[in-house]
Amino acid sequence: MERTFAIIKPDAVERKLAGQILLRVEGAGFTVRAMRLHHLTKREAEGFYAVHRERPFFGALTDFMSSGPCVLLALEAPDAIKKWRTLMGATDPAKADAATLRKDFGSSIERNATHGSDAPETAAFELGYFFRGMELF
């Protein structure tokens, strides 16, 4: 079993899509090991996305991620990182495969409904960033 970190982003929460996304998550065979609704501060968003600090989209990304509540998830499944990234689809919803979360729920490359860890090291950092001090079941 492997764990990964996922976010249902503010755009999807605002559009009341979190329940539909969670149904798809569980339907795909993931076990939710931790979940919480959280409104990121600008500082939290900047720390979380620090790897992108020098990129031109950093300010817009952190503004967006701190614009409203999101759902933070610790997911578990065999090969969870790859499985979650496949379920999410391409970053740009216009380029995402049919029946992926971003194709079905994303409205643009910036507002693409979900985030997911891209590697075991990233997953470990991201899970620790938001679920530090919390026991994951």
**Catalytic positions:** 115
Q: What DSSP letter does each residue of 11-52 carry, written as one string?
A: HHHHTT-HHHHHHHHHHTT-EEEEEEEE---HHHHHHHTGGG
CA distance 37 to 72: 6
| Angstrom distance (rounded) from CA 59 to CA 77 | 33
Tokens of 120: 């075991």
Opening angle at CA 62, ends 59 and 67, nearest 5: 120
Shortest CA distance to 61 belongs to which of 71, 48, 75?
Answer: 48
